[in-house]
Structures are given as C-alpha cells and as structure tokens.
Amino acid sequence: MQYISTRGQAEPIGFSDTVMTGLADDGGLFLPSEIPDLKPRFEELAALSYPDLAFEIIRLYVDLADDVLRELVNRSYAAFDAPDVVPIRRLNGITMLELFHGPTLAFKDIALQFLGNLFEVLLQARGGRLNILTATSGDTGSAAIAGTRGREFMNAIVLYPHGRVTPVQELQMTTVLDENVHNLAIEGDFDDCQTIVKALFRDPDFKQSYSLGAMNSINWARVLAQIVYYVYAALKVMRDRKVDEISFSVPSGNFGNVFAGYVAWRMGLPIRQLILATNENDILSRFFNLGDYSRGEVVPSMSPSMDIQVASNFERYLYYRVGEDPARLRGLMEAFGRSGLISCDDLPPRPAGDPFCAGSADRDSTIGTIKQFYERFGYVLDPHSAVGVYVGMQKSVPQSPLICLATAHPAKFEDAVVAALGKCPARHDRIEALQGKPTRRTVLPADENRVRAYIAEHLHSTSKR
C-alpha cells in the first residue's frame, strides 16, 4: 500500500514512512492510494474480538510483518480497563459505544496507545530519535503523553490553549514530569496551537533537523486505528439486531474521528447516516447544512475538546469530494488560507449515498441531554458525548439503529456534569489520584517563533541529525 498527499506534490511513500513523516512535505495530508473492500468478509470479521479485528483491519494498510503487528496490537489494547476494549451499551433505542476505557479516559487512547508503540517499533528498526509535536484541545495531549512518556527514543512537545482546557485535562498533561515530556500552554485558542504545529511541519529543514513527528490526527495512523471501532460496533450491532445497515452519531471538532467512520463507509461498511455533531463552534455542521465552511472566532464551550474552527482532517474529505483531484484541492486550500472560506458552490455535488448529515447543540441542549439521560437510564454522559446524543436523536431515522460514540469519561468534565445534575455521580480513581500532584508547564504566547526557540533550546542536544 502506497500513500499519497492530498495536494499531489509529494512522492508516494509506504506506510512506515507515512507514519514517521506525519504531514506531507507539500503541506497535504496522506491518504492510502486505494481503499480495501471489506464486504466479502463481514461474517468472518463480526465474530472477532477487538484486538483480532484491529489486526485484520490494520494489516490491510501497513508494511509490517504479521507477527510484529500482532504483538503491537495486543500490547496496545492490554492497557485498557475493559476486556472488550470498547464496550457496547444498549439503552432502549440508543446504543452507546464507550471509547473511554484507556489510560487517559478518552477515545484518543485507542489510536495513541497504538501509535506510541508503533513509533517505538519503527525507531528500534531505523535508529534515531523522534520529537512528537502535538496540538491539543484537551484530550489528544494527555493521550499522546501517555503513549510516549518515558520512552527512550522519543520526546513529546504538547501545545494546548492556556486556560481553555478543563482542570482535569490540564492535570493529566502537566502532572507527567518525565524528562521527555514538554507541556506548552499557548496564550490563544486551539486553532492558534494547530496553526503553529502545521507551520513547523511545513518547514522541511526544521522538521528534519529536529526529527519532528505527529500524533495529531494529521497522522494517518490515528485515523487507521479509529476505523476499527466503527467496523467492530457496526458488525456486532447489525448481527444482534438482525439489520442490514447502521447509523453513527459522532461529536466532532477536528473531523478526524468522524473521518475514520467515512473511511469505514468507503470500505463497504453499510452506514446509513454518519451524523456529525458540533457544539457552538459549528463550522462543520454549517458546511453540511448550509454549504458554508467559513472560519470564525472560537467560542469557549462546556465541551472544550470540540472548540475548533479549522478542522485539519476536513481536507481529506474534500479530496474525495473533488474527485481525488489534487490540483483542485490545492486551489481550495489556498483560497481558504487567504479568505477563510470554502463554499459548496466551488465543489461538485455530493455523491449519491454520501452518509453525512450534521447538526449542533448549544449549552442548554447539552445540559438537558445529560440530565435526561441520567434521569431515564442512570447513565452519565460527558458533555462531548451529550452533544453527539442530542444531535443523533434529532437527525436519526427509525429504520437504522443508532450508535452514539461516548468519547470521554464524564469524570473528566465534572463542571459540566454538575451544571446538569447538581452533582457529579461519575468518579474515577485515575482522576482522583491527580489531585495535589506537582505539575510542570511553560506558558508561551501564540507565536511560532517562540515555539521554535523553545524546541531549539530544549531539544537540540539530543534530536539534531
């Protein structure tokens, strides 16, 4: 399997090089040159455990030996609390897919435990070091740190928006005092963090000199690992409910999670609806509903991991939307860089069967959904999952069973739960253990040059080639 850049000006490369490169040198995002068809294997795959299914899906895209991949997958998912990794919970007409049973209690662990182990395997084979540069709106940072802390040949540099993540999210990052972890609190919003990271990756000399790698969802391996749980949940629920199709509702900010579902659909998974749910930062839902993808100011919300106005992975969807035409895609992204706008008038019509629909939930809707679910089922939703449930209930069709992705443990977002319920019935030992621990972080302005200087000062002695 070869990997190509969405912008078409980088040479195709193999999977391992794609993982180590992160962002293509032409500024594009990597995609596989072909998408395998899973339809003939549904019955076989439906009977597999989660790790076994992960092995079968991932091996279609990688250049690793089977025994290496099998050990990597098993080691990655042994870190999860749930024996089935992603439990499926049926609540009347809605099914919850719980993706928060990993080390940092968020869905990011599913990909980043795998990616941390994958980086280690590749570095052991190739030699050298890797400095993993990550922008986070809250959960990716702690999951990236959990996947890299203490590893001999890796450093983690995490940029997060100062004052715009929850106290628990910040503690999960800043209480990790390993020497290879660097937390940078950026005086701005997530889009500022993401802009800095992308700028550094687009500088080939800096990227090579400091051996930069990516754990954000710009790295294809992130998306690849997330495809697995769509296939797992869909095949299990369809078999149990004796139906031929399924729908998903996905809380989305950076479009990586829901894009994994889109790839699963392109692999033949019978997804009737892929419901994209946003909070007040509704650039993605405006695109699908109004044809308007226009950058605005980030609005702080009670679901901070979705407080994003420029979704990195949307470029991957646009590549398919323009008929896999990199020149046309380049034009769109260059125009967006100048004007902050992409209009559906500049795109071909949506192809037949495209599963996307979208909606948004404001603060009152989010609080109301948390309260309703607790009163009806005794089930506590975190605010991101509540956004997905609210929009899913608004948009789903009765003919297709709905699976809502539960993306984080509610104990990570105590303030939102208390706002809805007047208390927080959700607790977790890992979160309680963070209280009172020493922390370390560096506060920097939203200035690319200041981040460059930090990297040069703290990493030059070990990471220059």
Residue type, 134: T
Hunting for tokens 């795109």 — which residue is that?
347
Catalytic, 108? Answer yes
Q: Which of 108, 198, 207, 412 is flagged as catalytic?
A: 108
Q: How far apart are CA 152 and CA 147, in angstroms?
A: 12
β-pairing verdict for 30-32 and 88-91: unpaired
Cβ atoms of 330 and 336 closer than 8 Å:
no
Cβ atoms of 132 and 158 closer than 8 Å:
no
Q: Taking CA 140 as the corner, what is the angle to CA 137 and CA 311, rounded to the nearest 5 degrees?
A: 55
Cβ atoms of 418 and 117 closer than 8 Å:
no
Alpha-helix residue ranges (DSSP H) falling in 37-83: 42-46, 50-58, 66-77
Residues 6+ apart with CB under 8 A from 196: 135, 159, 186, 446, 447, 448, 451
- Could you tell me the strand order of the sheet in which 442-445 lies? 212-214, 130-135, 154-161, 181-187, 442-445
Rounded to whole angstroms, what are the CA distances from 254 to 109, 121, 347? 16, 28, 21
Considering just the CA atoms, what is the radius of gyration of the chain in Å? 21
Cβ atoms of 230 and 288 closer than 8 Å:
no
Comparing C-alpha atoms, which of 384, 417, 421, 389 is closest to residue 402?
Answer: 389
β-pairing verdict for 341-343 and 292-294: antiparallel
132 pairs with which residues across the strands? 156, 213
Hunting for tokens 């790839």 — which residue is that?
263
Q: C-alpha 434: how far from its chain's center? A: 24
Residue 278 DSSP one-character state:
E
CA-based max dimension of the chain: 60
Q: How far apart are CA 451 and CA 377, in angstroms?
A: 47
Q: How far apart are CA 401 and CA 299, in angstroms?
A: 32
Q: How many CB atoms lie within 10 A of CB 462?
A: 13
Active site residues: 108
